Structure 1
Amino acid sequence: MSKQDTVICLGREFNSEEERREYFRNELRAKLPELKKIEGFPIGDDEDIINLSDPPYYTACPNPWLNDFIGEWENEQSNINERQENFHVDEPYASDVSEGKNNPIYNAHSYHTKVPHPAIMRYILHYTQPGDTVFDGFSGTGMTGVAAQLCENPDPETKYVIEKEFRDSGLGSPVWGPRNAILGDLSPVASFISYNYNTSTDNYVFEDQARYLLNEIETECNWMYETKHTNGSKGIIDYTLWSDVFTCPDCNGEIIFWDAAIDKEIGEVRDEFHCPHCNSLHSKRTLEKTWVTLYDDSLTETIRQTKTVPVLINYRVGNKRFEKKPDSDDLLLIQKIDALKVPYNIKANELPIGYNTEQPKRSNGITHVHHFFTKRNLWCVLSYINKNKNVRNLFLVTAITSDVSKMARLKVGYYFKGGGGPFIPGLAGTLYIPSLSVEKRALFALENRLKTISSSLPKLKGHRGITLTGSVSDMKTLNSSSIDYIFTDPPFGANIMYSELNYISEGWLRVKTNNRSEAIENKSQGKSLLDYQSIMTKCFEEYYRVLKPGKWMTVEFSNTSAAVWNGIQTAIQKAGFVIANVAGLDKKQGSFKAVTTPTAVKQDLVISCYKPSESFEQKFTTTQSSIAVWDFVSEHLSHLPVYLKNENSSTAIIERAPKALFDRLITFYLMRGLSVPIDAKDYQEGLKQRYVERDGMYFTSEQAAIYDDKKARSPKFVQLSLIVTSESDAIEWLKDRLRKQGQKYQDIMPEFRKATQSLRKGDTLPELQDILNENFIQDADGKWRTPNPNEAKDRETLRTKILLKEFGTYIAAINQPKAKKLKEVRVEALRAGFKISWEQKDFNTIVKLGDMIPQNILLEDEQLLMYYDIAKDRV
């Protein structure tokens, strides 16, 4: 064998890829006992885990070779001309990005959530240079790895668009070149998909092997999908529509949903419909499904399931498509197939107890994975799996699971009126079985998916992505300070139950998710929102550990809950990161846009945060004075966007507002167990003395010059829009109003009442008069104005005294015998009291009171949650 035909992997030489694979599989087998001690090790037999793996590039368990690859990559850096010796990124990537999803790579394999890889490319290009290592521990299908690959060889259109965006944003030209990616996920099927996207393959070999398998399956299974055409010739079924059957409560007759409930003239589902036997009027909501008893030869027992019947067949003869109502021959064929035993081993995977898994059990009697498929579709899929000799070809099966299951559904409007494909996969984020289920011929689905994958794989070289299966909360196989950049799209609260939704596909792979460390809120797993936050904190602490000092992490957030949003922020900051910017992501359009409030959760968000440098951290362990405060502010200002533009207007940067800067300072100190050596008023004065104020925001003198120059070109300014949801918001609203000019109470009140209509439940807002007395100054003419520095200190003292008195009443109330939870509280009083308790190291009071206030108040207020979360660790 010639030298050029040999395979070099981690310094070893092999005669073939198969030899390399076999060597490292044996190595992996020997390492499994130690790897099993790592959190998140999947559920499966050792040999199934090893057979699914392609080590060292991909392991269906924690990957013990990560540091070896990083060592190789760092040795290669000296040969990359594009690298800079002192590469450093100060500002976050805060420019607007627009990127659609209609991309052959993106569409090659579906998954519950995805960020389009061209959008991720902008971040990688901004935060890294060629040769750097990117990490995503919640990688899903591996789009972060795809983005890293394509930074070396982008398609011309993407390259042009990104370069133009960088120039327009004043970022200069992006430096194209190879980036390396480490990709992990708790789910074996997710990491398997990621591996296929991010490991090099011979596309022709893949396609040839797949087509050979499909031809074998066609010979074996096509008879199951034959139907008789009108002229007696044979057609091949592509789709069969199955309908639920309901029982009429008046006559006990059967009501076929398709026949009774679909108005075929106007192409809509009727709200009410008649029983065909007694003509009584019903709605779907008031009817009971018809249940039947069946024998399950896989379980060797009888089962109860809902009755469904075939009502429509979509087939083709040659290249022409036709439709028909199933005739007697079609019904006899289905009966014949159902009476046969599938000649392949069906592993009876019972659905676990869960949130999503309970729905098909209750509604349809579906208790095991094989129940999600008709007998003939199950036969075809198992035939493919059993005949397959190359594990990579299972990529095709995992890609069509939803398509060929009973979860596939009919879009009634599209079917009758057009406007889109009428036969679509299951309802996203669920295991829902529709009343009109579409049985897509499995071989038809496999052929179509093969075309899609074959058109996308050649665009990927996939030689720089290393994949693992495991929990990011325990990355023992990855050295500290070894990663240059993190992009991650983690789970969010109870949004998506990944381990439940992946259970079917993981059944094909014979390796399943170990959900003990799954970061979700799930009653079936006994995980509350606080448990979710605790797991996410562990994950971010590992991210913090493996990221190099001074480097960046980008977190994509997708949830509409303010409590989950605050939980994520707390977890990020508790791990040690400092948040520098929050931007919005409209996934429908795939675009990133600036947002004007840190608690805006009506859209997807992108959080940019950084790990402080080692020298910067050391200052705070050695300097316990207000000097360090201004070191932090200067350092933090250097990491914030200097200028943002929305269309043709200059836009406010919320992180540069005084309140936001002070909040970040408090968080930085508290998360490190330090007392804050400055109060709010002295802090405000210090800002004014040391930094330059522009449009309510603070800059260093150098940044102010840049801001002035750029704003001069777009002088129209968009101010921060403030939605009043709390007392602190109300105070800021009044400050903004009274800063411009003094006003009398009667002039303020009407607008104040309108502004304060969105308060949180359980949060007591004082009367306007009390807020004015505690925070502002009334002149002799009766007008209220903002206080000067000396007056502000007096007002702060007065207000703190009032708040702590209120806090004292809460302490007294919860210490009463048989004390009940407090239904309403003044959040500002809790903040003041928690601050004093923290300074006095009275952590018990913080935790005890935190447990007795309304949960939404605790979870939706960033400061309260921060104090509570840290105090809980110290009790």
Structure 2
Amino acid sequence: MINDDNLALLYGKPFPSTRTGALFNAFSYPTKISPEAIALFIACHTNVGDTVFDPFGGSGTTGIAVKLCDKPSPELLKMAKQYGVSPVWGYRKAIIYELSPIASAIGNVMCNTSSKLFVEYATKLIDEIEAENPNIYNVIDSDGEEGTIRYIIWTDGVICPNCGKENKYSDVAIKYSPIEFIDKCTCRYCNVQFSINEALRSHGLQSDPVLNCKVDAKFRYPFKIYGTTGKKKWSRLATNDDWLSYQRMIEKLDFSDVPIKKIQWGDLYRTGYHFGIEHIHQFYTLRNVFVLSKLWKKVSEYPANIQQALKVFLLSYNQSHSTLMTRVVAKKNNKDFVLTGAQPGVLYISSLPVEKNILNGLRRKIKTFSEGIKILESSTSEVCFVSGSSVSTSIASNSIDYVFTDPPFGGYIPYSEINQINELWYGVKTDVSDEVIINGTQGKSLIEYQKLMSNVFAEISRCIKVNGQCTVVFHSAKSAIWRAIIKAYQTNGFSVSKTGILDKVQASFKQVNSTITVKGDPLILLAKRTKCTVKENYASDVCIAEQILKSHQSENKGKEKSERMFSEYIAECIEKGITITLDAEYFFNHE
């Protein structure tokens, strides 16, 4: 039986959701909520045998969570104990809809793959490509011995605005001991100072062996090489010989297996760092796009029942680590750069892009990926993944017991634009006509966003049982977007039962770097019943805001405090049925 005390505990205080662990790391995804957190909600809102629906499935985390309900992991049991709830563990069914074919494939692979079979063929795949291309990542170390590349930092060329000569970004924009990036640089030729961020990057006609023609692209040069010789790790500055050796190697490679596709640029395009990128393969170094093409082709030689898992495995590493979007950062008091992956939710290429040895990286990833699969493979819960729009589903009416969903946050992340890089290899394309988003390139304003969101909630209303419940996790700093989603569920017969806050322990890139952000995502528990009425003790949402500001007066000022106050304001307005008129900026200005 569903326990109301459990629900009071879940929604009564900020609920933690970490962005770590084998299940998250197997295939990280923008805005992803931990499957353990979702599993706890499912196990507290449903009974054994119930059916769960997620209309915005993403990479299938709700489906993974349903699998965990049947076989809860030690981390999940610990979370339940810490929170003081008594979940009903056991078999459930789930139906997961998602527009992106790749995202649907991720969930399907995680929930329906043998970990033993995966490890066998993933290892075989890397071994065979290494054997067929034994020198692809070879390099000479500082002692003249042959070693193996771990990764190479490349550098843009920068044009001095005074003399017009090319400087390497790495020569003028880095300060050492400790390492840091500097804006005011001095030209190595004319000694005039200039701003590195305002200077043009050098470019010109270069050979593109994939297209078999010359293209106008940014000039990039190897700057620093990190490698291994035996068990010894080392690093050294790249030389002109390294650059010439790389060019000679590229001339000998066969690029006929690299898929060719123009990128459909949208809201993420930036004229600076995306200059010259017209085809998706241009997000890679030529060496890495060659290696990835050989890996992808080799997968087709293996048994059909493991091919999808191997493809998803390759893509799980691809966008974060195989492209030029991989980067280094300078951390305080560090003597050298810190290597990190691509920034999630954007298509950013830095002036010091990184080329990783993707064969080494994939070999390490086998363990992480297989651990995620192994957690789920003994579960008997059933999950059906559907690649399609939730505006119209084939789900039977009055058949769903519970909905857990994390809808798109307005214009927050253009998923279809980001997914193009992985879709290049998978050979599919997301149909964006029903993508619920605010996006100028797609011609979708707040009006279209609200209409599409309302259509999805109409479908939820049709499918869900009379006594069913729906948990919505949402995030926006804009009151207009909040009003849009509220109208979407209200016009389809839903009202608010409870509200709370999901506290993502590690925020996404956009949450960290946006000027005005929200700390924690409000949780909304919806039910099909009479519309809520406004309580008499509040005249307006401004009164709620003033009460929240007053209650936090004793706390130290800071960005996190303002973010938390806005989340509290949203949750309280929604619970009391009061119209939201204030943006997050209000709390930053009135703190």
Partner of 1:184 in structure 2? 97
Partner of 1:302 in structure 2? 214
Q: 3-state SS of the aligned residue for 2:210? A: coil
Partner of 1:380 in structure 2? 291
Q: 3-state SS of the aligned residue for 1:288? A: coil
Amino acid across the alignment from 2:434: S
Distance 1:735 1:266 in 2: 46
Distance 2:187 2:547 in 1: 66
Q: 1:356-371 counterparts in 2 under 5 A?
A: 356=268, 358-359=269-270, 363-371=274-282
Question: Which of 657, 662, 669 is 2:533 aligned to?
Answer: 662
Listed one character per residue, the Cα deviations across residues 454-493 of structure 1 (whole Å, up to 9, x for unaligned) are: 2222111265221110111111x21111111110011111
Amino acid across the alignment from 1:151: C
Q: 1:230-379 counterparts in 2 under 5 A?
A: 230-356=142-268, 358-359=269-270, 363-379=274-290
Distance 1:326 1:352 in 2: 35
Question: Which of 436, 455, 462 is 1:545 aligned to?
Answer: 462
Do structure 1's residue 126 and structure 2's residue 39 form an aligned pair?
no
Amino acid across the alignment from 1:278: C
Do structure 1's residue 520 and structure 2's residue 437 form an aligned pair?
yes
- Provide closer, same or farther for how the CA distance between residues 435 and 94 of structure 1 changes in structure 2, counting only shifts above 3 A: same
Matched-pair contact (CA < 8 Å) for 2:36–2:75: no
Q: TM-score, normalised by structure 2?
A: 0.85
Partner of 1:438 in structure 2? 354
- Provide closer, same or farther for how the CA distance between residues 732 and 379 of structure 1 changes in structure 2, counting only shifts above 3 A: closer
Listed one character per residue, the Cα deviations across residues 198-221 of structure 1 (whole Å, up to 9, x for unaligned) are: 22x221111111111101111223
Partner of 2:504 in structure 1? 587
Compute the displacement of 1:370 (Å): 0.3
- Provide closer, same or farther for how the CA distance between residues 135 and 414 of structure 1 changes in structure 2, counting only shifts above 3 A: farther
Partner of 2:385 in structure 1? 467
Partner of 2:511 in structure 1? none
Task: State, as a whole percentage, how many aligned pairs show the same letter.
Answer: 32
Compute the displacement of 1:342 (Å): 2.9
Listed one character per residue, the Cα deviations across residues 516-543 of structure 1 (whole Å, up to 9, x for unaligned) are: 1100000000000111111111111111
- Provide closer, same or farther for how the CA distance between residues 391 and 729 of structure 1 changes in structure 2, counting only shifts above 3 A: closer
Distance 1:567 1:528 in 2: 11
- Provide closer, same or farther for how the CA distance between residues 422 and 730 of structure 1 changes in structure 2, counting only shifts above 3 A: closer
- Provide closer, same or farther for how the CA distance between residues 269 and 430 of structure 1 changes in structure 2, counting only shifts above 3 A: same
Q: 3-state SS of the aligned residue for 2:334? A: helix
- Provide closer, same or farther for how the CA distance between residues 731 and 193 of structure 1 changes in structure 2, counting only shifts above 3 A: closer
Distance 2:486 2:83 in 1: 29
Q: 3-state SS of the aligned residue for 2:215? A: strand
- Provide closer, same or farther for how the CA distance between residues 734 and 210 of structure 1 changes in structure 2, counting only shifts above 3 A: closer
- Provide closer, same or farther for how the CA distance between residues 398 and 360 of structure 1 changes in structure 2, counting only shifts above 3 A: farther
Amino acid across the alignment from 2:356: K
Do structure 1's residue 572 and structure 2's residue 489 form an aligned pair?
yes
Do structure 1's residue 140 and structure 2's residue 58 form an aligned pair?
yes
Compute the displacement of 1:335 (Å): 0.6
Amino acid across the alignment from 1:662: T
Distance 1:584 1:277 in 2: 56
Do structure 1's residue 400 and structure 2's residue 400 form an aligned pair?
no
Compute the displacement of 1:254 (Å): 1.1
Do structure 1's residue 610 and structure 2's residue 527 form an aligned pair?
yes
Partner of 1:107 in structure 2? 25
Matched-pair contact (CA < 8 Å) for 1:559–1:603: no
Partner of 1:194 in structure 2? 107
Q: 3-state SS of the aligned residue for 1:359? A: coil
Compute the displacement of 1:341 (Å): 4.7
Partner of 1:457 in structure 2? 373
Compute the displacement of 1:192 (Å): 1.0
Structure with bigger gyration radius:
1
Higher helix share: 1
Distance 1:732 1:438 in 2: 48
Do structure 1's residue 497 and structure 2's residue 414 form an aligned pair?
yes
- Provide closer, same or farther for how the CA distance between residues 245 and 519 of structure 1 changes in structure 2, counting only shifts above 3 A: same
Distance 2:225 2:489 in 1: 53
Compute the displacement of 1:445 (Å): 1.7
Listed one character per residue, the Cα deviations across residues 596-621 of structure 1 (whole Å, up to 9, x for unaligned) are: xxxx9654111110123xxxxxxxxx
Compute the displacement of 1:383 (Å): 0.6
Compute the displacement of 1:326 (Å): 1.7
Distance 2:66 2:431 in 1: 28
Compute the displacement of 1:732 (Å): 7.9
Partner of 2:125 in structure 1? 213
Distance 1:371 1:412 in 2: 26
- Provide closer, same or farther for how the CA distance between residues 249 and 731 of structure 1 changes in structure 2, counting only shifts above 3 A: closer
Q: 1:388-427 counterparts in 2 under 5 A?
A: 388=299, 389=302, 390-401=307-318, 402-413=320-331, 416-417=334-335, 422-427=338-343
Distance 2:546 2:407 in 1: 38
Q: 3-state SS of the aligned residue for 2:472? A: strand
Q: 3-state SS of the aligned residue for 1:123? A: helix
Distance 1:441 1:135 in 2: 40
- Provide closer, same or farther for how the CA distance between residues 323 and 734 of structure 1 changes in structure 2, counting only shifts above 3 A: closer
Distance 1:735 1:540 in 2: 32
Listed one character per residue, the Cα deviations across residues 617-639 of structure 1 (whole Å, up to 9, x for unaligned) are: xxxxxxxxxxxxxxx5xxx8xxx
Compute the displacement of 1:368 (Å): 0.8
Q: TM-score, normalised by structure 1?
A: 0.58
In structure 2, stretches of 5+ residues that fail to align are 508-516, 549-561, 563-578, 584-591
- Provide closer, same or farther for how the CA distance between residues 164 and 296 of structure 1 changes in structure 2, counting only shifts above 3 A: closer
Partner of 1:175 in structure 2? 88
Compute the displacement of 1:734 (Å): 11
Distance 2:547 2:192 in 1: 65
Q: 3-state SS of the aligned residue for 1:536? A: helix
- Provide closer, same or farther for how the CA distance between residues 157 and 509 of structure 1 changes in structure 2, counting only shifts above 3 A: closer
Matched-pair contact (CA < 8 Å) for 1:145–1:182: yes
Distance 1:589 1:296 in 2: 39
Amino acid across the alignment from 2:32: K
Listed one character per residue, the Cα deviations across residues 257-285 of structure 1 (whole Å, up to 9, x for unaligned) are: 11111001221111201001111101112
Matched-pair contact (CA < 8 Å) for 1:565–1:601: no
Q: 3-state SS of the aligned residue for 1:345? A: coil
Distance 1:257 1:134 in 2: 52
- Provide closer, same or farther for how the CA distance between residues 369 and 157 of structure 1 changes in structure 2, counting only shifts above 3 A: closer
Distance 1:545 1:259 in 2: 62
Q: 3-state SS of the aligned residue for 2:76? A: helix
Amino acid across the alignment from 2:374: P
Matched-pair contact (CA < 8 Å) for 1:344–1:386: no
Matched-pair contact (CA < 8 Å) for 2:40–2:76: no
Q: 3-state SS of the aligned residue for 2:322? A: coil
Compute the displacement of 1:510 (Å): 0.3
Compute the displacement of 1:121 (Å): 1.8
Partner of 1:161 in structure 2? 79
Amino acid across the alignment from 1:193: I
Distance 1:414 1:453 in 2: 32
Matched-pair contact (CA < 8 Å) for 2:157–2:220: yes
Distance 2:142 2:264 in 1: 46
Count of matched residue positions in the alignment of Structure 1 and Structure 2: 533
Question: Which of 415, 425, 433 is 1:508 aligned to?
Answer: 425
Listed one character per residue, the Cα deviations across residues 273-327 of structure 1 (whole Å, up to 9, x for unaligned) are: 1001111101112211101111323323321111111100000011110001123
Listed one character per residue, the Cα deviations across residues 22-42 of structure 1 (whole Å, up to 9, x for unaligned) are: xxxxxxxxxxxxxxxxxxxxx
